[in-house]
C-alpha cells in the first residue's frame, strides 16, 4: 500500500522544501499527480520520488524556474 503525504508534508520533502503554493501550482499544471480524498489532496510517496528523480523544474528564483537537468532558466 502506498503512503500518502499531504501537500504541506510533500512540499517540505521536495529538495529540502519548496513553498506549498509552488507545489500546488505544479499539481494544477499536471506535473505532480495527486490522489483526492474528499476535498483534500494527497501525493503518493512514489509519485513524489519519481517527480524528483525526473529532474523536473524544482528550484524557483526571481519568478523563473530553473531546470536542474540543464542548469538554465525556463520562462514563466
Q: In this structure, are residues 27 and 11 in contact, taking their beta carbons and an 8 Å threshold?
A: no
Residue 57 — very low, low, confident or very high, per pLDDT cuts 50/70/90?
Answer: low
The pLDDT assigned to 12 comes to 86
Judged against a pLDDT cut of 70, whether residue 73 lies above it is answered with no
Q: For the chain, list the domains and their CATH numbers.
A: 4-74 (1.10.1660)
**What's the mean pLDDT in 9-33?**
86
Instruction: Tell me which residue has cell 525556463.
Output: 74
Judged against a pLDDT cut of 90, whether residue 59 lies above it is answered with no
Q: What is d(CA 58, CA 15) in angstroms, rounded to the nearest whole number?
A: 8
The pLDDT assigned to 44 comes to 93
| Size of the chain in residues | 76
Residue 48 — very low, low, confident or very high, per pLDDT cuts 50/70/90?
Answer: confident
Q: In the sheet where 35-37 sits, what is the strand order? A: 4-6, 40-44, 35-37
Amino acid at each position: 500500500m502506498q503512503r500518502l503525504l499531504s501537500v504541506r508534508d510533500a512540499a517540505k520533502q521536495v529538495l529540502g522544501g519548496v513553498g506549498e503554493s509552488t507545489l500546488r501550482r505544479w499539481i494544477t499544471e499536471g506535473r505532480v499527480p495527486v490522489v483526492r480524498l474528499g476535498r483534500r489532496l494527497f501525493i503518493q510517496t512514489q509519485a513524489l520520488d519519481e517527480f524528483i528523480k525526473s529532474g523536473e523544474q524544482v528550484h524557483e528564483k526571481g519568478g523563473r524556474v530553473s531546470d536542474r537537468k540543464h542548469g538554465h532558466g525556463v520562462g514563466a
